[in-house]
Structure 1
Amino acid sequence: MDDVSRQNAIKALKQTKMEIAGEYGMNYEDAFEIIENASNKGVLEGYFKKLEKKKI
């Protein structure tokens, strides 16, 4: 992954964390656990897919 792609991926992750934190009224850093859960086919997988579609 080149430097620009890496920076864009970091920005996208931060944006996703902020959206999830805002949606659930939680701490910004705690949102990472939700992202990790969703990406591992956890309970919130459906929510994560909806969030991805929303960005397209």
Structure 2
Amino acid sequence: MSMPFQSFLEPGQIVQHPDFPEWGWGQVQSAIGERVTVNFQNEGKVLIDASRVELKLVQG
């Protein structure tokens, strides 16, 4: 049995999406398992599967 994925991100951290730099920076709203909700400057709220996308931490 494999371990469930756990995101290292926490609410309040600032991140960027590696595939969509035009979204600007985003603030993590919630991180539950692999499901991370981020509010981006130019895209708004986006639900991201952190087991598939490695968000880039801008500041912690």
Give the TM-score of the pair, scaled to structure 1.
0.30
Q: Which has the higher helix share?
A: 1
> Which one has the largest radius of gyration?
1
Give the TM-score of the pair, scaled to structure 2.
0.29
Q: Which has the higher strand share?
A: 2
